[in-house]
Structure 1
Amino acid sequence: MKNVTVFCASSPKVKPEYLEEAAKLAEELVKADYRIVYGGGEVGLMGVLATRALELQGQVRGIIPHFMVEVEWEHKGVTDMIHVNDMAERKKLLVKDSHAIVVLAGGIGTLEELFEVLSLKKLGQIVQPIIIVNTAGFFDPLLQMLDKLVDEQFMRAEHKQLWHVVASASEVCGALEQLPRWSANAIEFAAVK
Protein backbone atom coordinates (compact mmCIF):
# COMPACT_ATOMS: atom_id res chain seq x y z
CA MET A 1 0.00 0.00 0.00
CA LYS A 2 1.33 3.41 -0.95
CA ASN A 3 1.44 6.24 1.58
CA VAL A 4 0.14 9.72 0.84
CA THR A 5 1.14 12.35 3.36
CA VAL A 6 -1.40 15.11 3.92
CA PHE A 7 -0.58 18.49 5.44
CA CYS A 8 -3.62 20.48 6.58
CA ALA A 9 -5.15 22.69 9.27
CA SER A 10 -5.98 21.70 12.81
CA SER A 11 -8.34 24.64 13.35
CA PRO A 12 -12.02 23.67 13.69
CA LYS A 13 -13.16 27.27 13.17
CA VAL A 14 -12.63 27.40 9.40
CA LYS A 15 -15.31 27.63 6.70
CA PRO A 16 -17.22 24.39 6.06
CA GLU A 17 -15.90 24.17 2.49
CA TYR A 18 -12.39 23.46 3.81
CA LEU A 19 -13.63 20.72 6.13
CA GLU A 20 -15.66 19.21 3.28
CA GLU A 21 -12.56 19.19 1.09
CA ALA A 22 -10.69 17.20 3.75
CA ALA A 23 -13.51 14.63 3.84
CA LYS A 24 -13.52 14.43 0.04
CA LEU A 25 -9.77 13.88 -0.04
CA ALA A 26 -10.13 11.04 2.47
CA GLU A 27 -12.79 9.44 0.27
CA GLU A 28 -10.65 9.74 -2.86
CA LEU A 29 -7.50 8.36 -1.24
CA VAL A 30 -9.31 5.43 0.41
CA LYS A 31 -11.06 4.58 -2.86
CA ALA A 32 -7.67 4.54 -4.63
CA ASP A 33 -6.20 2.31 -1.86
CA TYR A 34 -3.71 4.80 -0.43
CA ARG A 35 -2.76 4.89 3.24
CA ILE A 36 -3.17 8.39 4.65
CA VAL A 37 -0.27 9.64 6.77
CA TYR A 38 -0.96 12.85 8.67
CA GLY A 39 -0.14 14.80 11.81
CA GLY A 40 -2.30 12.77 14.20
CA GLY A 41 -4.75 15.48 15.29
CA GLU A 42 -8.43 15.03 16.09
CA VAL A 43 -9.81 18.46 15.18
CA GLY A 44 -10.03 20.69 12.14
CA LEU A 45 -9.23 19.40 8.67
CA MET A 46 -6.88 16.86 10.23
CA GLY A 47 -9.62 15.34 12.31
CA VAL A 48 -12.14 15.29 9.45
CA LEU A 49 -9.58 13.68 7.13
CA ALA A 50 -8.76 10.87 9.55
CA THR A 51 -12.31 10.30 10.78
CA ARG A 52 -13.77 10.06 7.28
CA ALA A 53 -11.03 7.67 6.14
CA LEU A 54 -11.63 5.44 9.17
CA GLU A 55 -15.38 5.47 8.52
CA LEU A 56 -14.59 4.04 5.08
CA GLN A 57 -12.25 1.39 6.55
CA GLY A 58 -9.23 3.18 5.12
CA GLN A 59 -5.71 2.96 6.49
CA VAL A 60 -4.59 5.99 8.52
CA ARG A 61 -1.26 6.58 10.23
CA GLY A 62 -0.83 9.51 12.58
CA ILE A 63 2.47 11.02 13.70
CA ILE A 64 2.22 13.33 16.68
CA PRO A 65 4.66 14.81 19.23
CA HIS A 66 4.30 13.92 22.91
CA PHE A 67 3.41 17.50 23.93
CA MET A 68 0.35 17.39 21.64
CA VAL A 69 -0.74 14.10 23.19
CA GLU A 70 -0.45 15.67 26.64
CA VAL A 71 -2.88 18.45 25.68
CA GLU A 72 -5.26 15.86 24.18
CA TRP A 73 -4.95 16.81 20.50
CA GLU A 74 -4.39 13.18 19.48
CA HIS A 75 -7.08 11.41 17.41
CA LYS A 76 -8.33 8.59 19.65
CA GLY A 77 -9.69 6.57 16.73
CA VAL A 78 -6.38 6.22 14.90
CA THR A 79 -4.74 3.02 16.14
CA ASP A 80 -1.64 3.35 13.92
CA MET A 81 -0.28 6.32 15.86
CA ILE A 82 3.42 7.11 16.22
CA HIS A 83 4.51 9.33 19.11
CA VAL A 84 7.65 11.40 18.54
CA ASN A 85 9.73 13.79 20.61
CA ASP A 86 9.29 17.01 18.66
CA MET A 87 8.00 18.72 15.53
CA ALA A 88 11.23 18.14 13.59
CA GLU A 89 11.00 14.38 14.11
CA ARG A 90 7.33 14.48 13.18
CA LYS A 91 8.02 16.24 9.88
CA LYS A 92 10.85 13.88 9.05
CA LEU A 93 8.65 10.80 9.56
CA LEU A 94 5.70 12.34 7.73
CA VAL A 95 7.84 12.53 4.60
CA LYS A 96 10.12 9.50 5.06
CA ASP A 97 8.05 6.70 3.52
CA SER A 98 5.66 8.88 1.56
CA HIS A 99 4.92 8.30 -2.12
CA ALA A 100 3.29 11.72 -2.47
CA ILE A 101 2.52 14.84 -0.45
CA VAL A 102 -0.85 16.58 -0.63
CA VAL A 103 -1.38 20.01 0.91
CA LEU A 104 -4.82 21.25 1.91
CA ALA A 105 -5.64 24.68 3.33
CA GLY A 106 -3.98 25.46 6.64
CA GLY A 107 -2.18 27.92 8.84
CA ILE A 108 1.46 28.62 9.53
CA GLY A 109 2.20 25.00 10.46
CA THR A 110 0.83 23.77 7.13
CA LEU A 111 2.72 26.48 5.25
CA GLU A 112 5.92 25.61 7.10
CA GLU A 113 5.50 21.95 6.12
CA LEU A 114 4.81 22.92 2.51
CA PHE A 115 7.87 25.14 2.25
CA GLU A 116 10.09 22.58 3.92
CA VAL A 117 9.18 19.88 1.38
CA LEU A 118 9.47 22.34 -1.52
CA SER A 119 12.94 23.28 -0.30
CA LEU A 120 13.93 19.63 0.18
CA LYS A 121 12.70 18.77 -3.30
CA LYS A 122 14.49 21.75 -4.83
CA LEU A 123 17.70 20.53 -3.18
CA GLY A 124 17.20 16.98 -4.44
CA GLN A 125 16.62 15.48 -0.99
CA ILE A 126 13.12 14.18 -1.77
CA VAL A 127 11.48 13.25 -5.07
CA GLN A 128 7.79 12.83 -4.18
CA PRO A 129 5.07 14.69 -6.07
CA ILE A 130 3.80 17.68 -4.09
CA ILE A 131 0.17 18.50 -4.86
CA ILE A 132 -1.44 21.70 -3.61
CA VAL A 133 -5.24 21.56 -3.39
CA ASN A 134 -6.34 25.14 -4.06
CA THR A 135 -9.81 25.00 -2.50
CA ALA A 136 -11.81 28.14 -3.36
CA GLY A 137 -8.56 29.85 -4.43
CA PHE A 138 -7.13 29.61 -0.90
CA PHE A 139 -3.54 29.36 -2.17
CA ASP A 140 -3.84 32.03 -4.91
CA PRO A 141 -1.83 34.69 -3.00
CA LEU A 142 0.86 32.13 -2.17
CA LEU A 143 1.06 30.96 -5.78
CA GLN A 144 1.39 34.59 -6.86
CA MET A 145 4.27 34.98 -4.41
CA LEU A 146 5.96 31.89 -5.85
CA ASP A 147 5.59 33.42 -9.32
CA LYS A 148 7.20 36.60 -7.97
CA LEU A 149 10.15 34.55 -6.68
CA VAL A 150 10.68 33.38 -10.25
CA ASP A 151 10.07 36.83 -11.76
CA GLU A 152 12.64 38.34 -9.38
CA GLN A 153 15.07 35.45 -10.08
CA PHE A 154 15.13 34.02 -6.58
CA MET A 155 14.13 30.74 -8.27
CA ARG A 156 14.50 29.55 -11.84
CA ALA A 157 11.38 29.08 -13.97
CA GLU A 158 11.86 25.30 -13.99
CA HIS A 159 11.52 25.25 -10.22
CA LYS A 160 7.78 25.76 -10.75
CA GLN A 161 7.81 22.04 -11.57
CA LEU A 162 8.42 21.31 -7.87
CA TRP A 163 4.69 21.43 -7.18
CA HIS A 164 1.42 20.77 -8.96
CA VAL A 165 -1.85 22.61 -8.27
CA VAL A 166 -5.34 21.13 -8.47
CA ALA A 167 -8.62 22.92 -7.79
CA SER A 168 -10.19 20.18 -5.67
CA ALA A 169 -9.55 16.92 -3.87
CA SER A 170 -11.36 15.03 -6.61
CA GLU A 171 -8.41 15.77 -8.92
CA VAL A 172 -5.65 14.50 -6.61
CA CYS A 173 -5.57 10.81 -7.52
CA GLY A 174 -5.72 11.56 -11.24
CA ALA A 175 -2.81 13.95 -10.85
CA LEU A 176 -0.82 11.34 -8.92
CA GLU A 177 -1.23 8.90 -11.80
CA GLN A 178 -0.22 11.43 -14.45
CA LEU A 179 2.58 13.44 -12.86
CA PRO A 180 6.02 12.54 -14.20
CA ARG A 181 8.42 10.84 -11.81
CA TRP A 182 11.01 13.17 -10.34
CA SER A 183 14.60 12.19 -11.01
CA ALA A 184 16.73 10.91 -8.16
CA ASN A 185 19.42 13.12 -9.72
CA ALA A 186 17.34 16.19 -8.91
CA ILE A 187 20.24 17.73 -7.01
CA GLU A 188 21.62 18.78 -10.41
CA PHE A 189 18.33 20.56 -11.08
CA ALA A 190 18.83 22.53 -7.88
CA ALA A 191 22.32 23.71 -8.75
CA VAL A 192 22.81 27.48 -8.79
CA LYS A 193 23.43 28.82 -12.29
Structure 2
Amino acid sequence: MNICVFLSSADLDERYTRPAREFAELIGNGGHTLVWGGSDTGLMKVVADGVQETGGRLVGISVEFLRAFARKDADEMVIAKDLAERKALLLARSDAVVVMVGGLGTLDEATEILELRKHGLLDKPVALLNTVGFYDGVILQLRRMEDEGFLPLPLMELVYLANEGADALAHLEDSVRSR
Protein backbone atom coordinates (compact mmCIF):
# COMPACT_ATOMS: atom_id res chain seq x y z
CA MET A 1 0.00 0.00 0.00
CA ASN A 2 1.20 3.51 -0.80
CA ILE A 3 0.61 5.67 2.26
CA CYS A 4 0.69 9.44 1.87
CA VAL A 5 1.81 11.11 5.07
CA PHE A 6 1.37 14.84 5.55
CA LEU A 7 3.59 16.17 8.36
CA SER A 8 6.04 18.83 9.44
CA SER A 9 9.53 19.35 8.13
CA ALA A 10 10.45 21.14 11.37
CA ASP A 11 12.86 19.76 13.96
CA LEU A 12 10.68 18.73 16.87
CA ASP A 13 11.23 17.24 20.30
CA GLU A 14 10.93 13.65 21.49
CA ARG A 15 7.17 13.95 22.15
CA TYR A 16 6.70 14.03 18.38
CA THR A 17 9.77 12.31 16.96
CA ARG A 18 9.41 9.07 18.95
CA PRO A 19 5.79 8.35 17.89
CA ALA A 20 6.62 9.42 14.33
CA ARG A 21 9.53 7.01 14.24
CA GLU A 22 7.36 4.21 15.62
CA PHE A 23 4.70 4.86 12.97
CA ALA A 24 7.35 4.93 10.24
CA GLU A 25 8.67 1.56 11.37
CA LEU A 26 5.15 0.13 11.16
CA ILE A 27 4.92 1.35 7.56
CA GLY A 28 8.28 -0.16 6.64
CA ASN A 29 7.76 -3.43 8.50
CA GLY A 30 4.38 -3.76 6.81
CA GLY A 31 6.05 -3.60 3.39
CA HIS A 32 4.34 -0.33 2.54
CA THR A 33 5.60 2.66 0.58
CA LEU A 34 5.83 6.13 2.12
CA VAL A 35 4.60 8.88 -0.19
CA TRP A 36 5.60 12.16 1.43
CA GLY A 37 6.73 15.72 0.79
CA GLY A 38 10.23 14.53 0.02
CA SER A 39 12.10 16.66 2.53
CA ASP A 40 15.21 15.37 4.26
CA THR A 41 14.71 17.66 7.25
CA GLY A 42 12.88 17.55 10.56
CA LEU A 43 10.02 15.18 11.15
CA MET A 44 9.84 14.34 7.45
CA LYS A 45 13.39 12.99 7.71
CA VAL A 46 12.58 11.02 10.88
CA VAL A 47 9.68 9.28 9.14
CA ALA A 48 11.57 8.64 5.90
CA ASP A 49 14.53 7.22 7.83
CA GLY A 50 12.28 4.90 9.83
CA VAL A 51 10.46 3.62 6.75
CA GLN A 52 13.66 3.10 4.78
CA GLU A 53 15.52 1.37 7.63
CA THR A 54 12.69 -1.15 8.06
CA GLY A 55 12.44 -2.07 4.38
CA GLY A 56 9.79 0.28 3.06
CA ARG A 57 10.06 2.30 -0.13
CA LEU A 58 10.24 6.10 -0.35
CA VAL A 59 8.41 8.16 -2.97
CA GLY A 60 9.03 11.86 -2.45
CA ILE A 61 7.03 14.63 -4.04
CA SER A 62 8.87 17.87 -3.47
CA VAL A 63 8.36 21.28 -5.02
CA GLU A 64 10.73 23.39 -7.07
CA PHE A 65 11.40 26.04 -4.42
CA LEU A 66 12.28 23.32 -1.87
CA ARG A 67 14.42 21.21 -4.22
CA ALA A 68 17.54 21.83 -2.11
CA PHE A 69 15.90 20.02 0.84
CA ALA A 70 14.80 16.97 -1.17
CA ARG A 71 16.07 13.60 0.04
CA LYS A 72 18.81 12.28 -2.23
CA ASP A 73 18.38 8.54 -1.59
CA ALA A 74 14.61 8.20 -2.05
CA ASP A 75 13.52 5.37 -4.32
CA GLU A 76 11.78 8.00 -6.40
CA MET A 77 11.69 11.80 -6.22
CA VAL A 78 9.30 13.97 -8.21
CA ILE A 79 9.66 17.75 -8.30
CA ALA A 80 6.34 19.57 -8.73
CA LYS A 81 6.14 23.11 -10.08
CA ASP A 82 4.07 24.44 -7.17
CA LEU A 83 2.30 23.42 -3.94
CA ALA A 84 -1.03 22.74 -5.64
CA GLU A 85 0.57 20.31 -8.08
CA ARG A 86 2.49 18.73 -5.20
CA LYS A 87 -0.70 18.02 -3.24
CA ALA A 88 -2.39 16.57 -6.31
CA LEU A 89 0.59 14.30 -7.03
CA LEU A 90 0.81 13.16 -3.40
CA LEU A 91 -2.84 12.11 -3.47
CA ALA A 92 -2.60 10.55 -6.93
CA ARG A 93 0.34 8.35 -5.88
CA SER A 94 -1.28 7.08 -2.66
CA ASP A 95 -3.85 4.50 -1.60
CA ALA A 96 -4.43 6.02 1.84
CA VAL A 97 -3.59 9.20 3.76
CA VAL A 98 -2.32 9.95 7.26
CA VAL A 99 -2.15 13.46 8.69
CA MET A 100 0.52 13.72 11.38
CA VAL A 101 1.64 16.71 13.43
CA GLY A 102 2.52 19.79 11.43
CA GLY A 103 2.16 23.49 10.89
CA LEU A 104 0.18 25.59 8.46
CA GLY A 105 1.13 23.51 5.42
CA THR A 106 -0.08 20.32 7.07
CA LEU A 107 -3.27 22.00 8.24
CA ASP A 108 -3.87 23.26 4.69
CA GLU A 109 -3.37 19.74 3.32
CA ALA A 110 -5.66 18.22 5.96
CA THR A 111 -8.52 20.63 5.31
CA GLU A 112 -8.24 20.18 1.55
CA ILE A 113 -8.39 16.40 1.95
CA LEU A 114 -11.47 16.63 4.17
CA GLU A 115 -13.13 18.99 1.68
CA LEU A 116 -12.42 16.56 -1.17
CA ARG A 117 -13.85 13.69 0.88
CA LYS A 118 -16.90 15.76 1.82
CA HIS A 119 -17.71 16.23 -1.86
CA GLY A 120 -16.98 12.61 -2.79
CA LEU A 121 -13.91 13.59 -4.83
CA LEU A 122 -11.51 11.48 -2.74
CA ASP A 123 -12.48 7.96 -1.74
CA LYS A 124 -9.17 6.97 -0.14
CA PRO A 125 -9.20 6.35 3.61
CA VAL A 126 -7.83 9.18 5.75
CA ALA A 127 -6.55 9.00 9.32
CA LEU A 128 -5.70 11.92 11.58
CA LEU A 129 -2.95 10.84 13.96
CA ASN A 130 -3.48 12.89 17.11
CA THR A 131 -0.05 12.44 18.69
CA VAL A 132 -0.02 13.60 22.35
CA GLY A 133 -3.29 15.46 21.77
CA PHE A 134 -1.78 17.76 19.13
CA TYR A 135 -5.05 17.97 17.19
CA ASP A 136 -7.45 18.11 20.17
CA GLY A 137 -8.52 21.64 19.24
CA VAL A 138 -9.07 20.75 15.59
CA ILE A 139 -11.07 17.67 16.56
CA LEU A 140 -13.19 19.77 18.92
CA GLN A 141 -13.93 22.17 16.06
CA LEU A 142 -14.71 19.34 13.63
CA ARG A 143 -17.13 17.81 16.14
CA ARG A 144 -18.79 21.19 16.62
CA MET A 145 -19.17 21.49 12.83
CA GLU A 146 -20.76 18.05 12.80
CA ASP A 147 -23.06 18.77 15.77
CA GLU A 148 -24.24 22.10 14.36
CA GLY A 149 -24.93 20.80 10.85
CA PHE A 150 -21.95 22.18 8.95
CA LEU A 151 -20.83 18.73 7.74
CA PRO A 152 -23.06 16.87 5.27
CA LEU A 153 -21.52 13.57 6.39
CA PRO A 154 -20.74 12.17 9.81
CA LEU A 155 -17.21 13.08 10.87
CA MET A 156 -16.28 9.41 11.14
CA GLU A 157 -17.01 9.02 7.39
CA LEU A 158 -14.60 11.86 6.57
CA VAL A 159 -11.65 10.91 8.76
CA TYR A 160 -10.57 8.23 11.19
CA LEU A 161 -9.31 9.77 14.43
CA ALA A 162 -6.44 7.85 16.02
CA ASN A 163 -4.20 8.51 19.00
CA GLU A 164 -1.77 5.70 18.16
CA GLY A 165 0.02 4.92 14.92
CA ALA A 166 -0.83 1.23 15.08
CA ASP A 167 -4.55 2.07 15.19
CA ALA A 168 -4.24 4.45 12.24
CA LEU A 169 -2.35 1.91 10.14
CA ALA A 170 -4.73 -0.94 10.99
CA HIS A 171 -7.68 1.23 9.94
CA LEU A 172 -6.03 2.14 6.64
CA GLU A 173 -5.06 -1.47 5.88
CA ASP A 174 -8.61 -2.69 6.64
CA SER A 175 -10.16 0.10 4.58
CA VAL A 176 -7.95 -0.47 1.54
CA ARG A 177 -8.45 -4.24 1.75
CA SER A 178 -12.25 -3.87 1.81
CA ARG A 179 -12.46 -1.46 -1.14
Q: Scaled by the length of structure 2, what TM-score is found?
A: 0.93
Match of 2:111 among 91, 111, 115: 115
Aligned residue pairs, count: 179
Do the aligned partners of 1:40 and 1:64 also contact (CA within 8 Å) in 2? Answer: yes
The list of structure 1 runs, each at least 4 consecutive aligned residues, that deviate by more than 3 angstroms after superposition, is 177-183
Give the Å deviation of 1:60: 0.6
| Inter-CA distance 180–94: structure 2 relative to 1 (3 Å threshold) | closer
Residue matched to 2:147? 151
Work out the percentage of aligned pairs sharing the same amino acid: 33
Q: Scaled by the length of structure 1, what TM-score is found?
A: 0.86
- Cα RMSD after superposing both structures: 1.8
Do the aligned partners of 1:128 and 1:182 also contact (CA within 8 Å) in 2? Answer: no
Q: Equivalents in 2 of 1:129, 1:181: separation in Å?
A: 11
- 1:20-99 map, 5 Å: 20-69=18-67, 72-99=68-95
Residue matched to 2:127? 131
* Correspondence 1:19 to 2:17: yes
Do the aligned partners of 2:129 and 2:162 also contact (CA within 8 Å) in 1? Answer: yes
What do residues 39-80 of structure 1 show as CA deviations (whole Å, max 9, x unaligned)? 0011111111111212223201000011101xx211122241
Stretches of structure 2 lacking an aligned partner (at least 5 in a row) = none
Do the aligned partners of 2:33 and 2:57 also contact (CA within 8 Å) in 1? Answer: yes
**Greater Rg by CA:** 1
What is the letter of the counterpart of residue 95 of structure 2?
H
Stretches of structure 1 lacking an aligned partner (at least 5 in a row) = 184-193
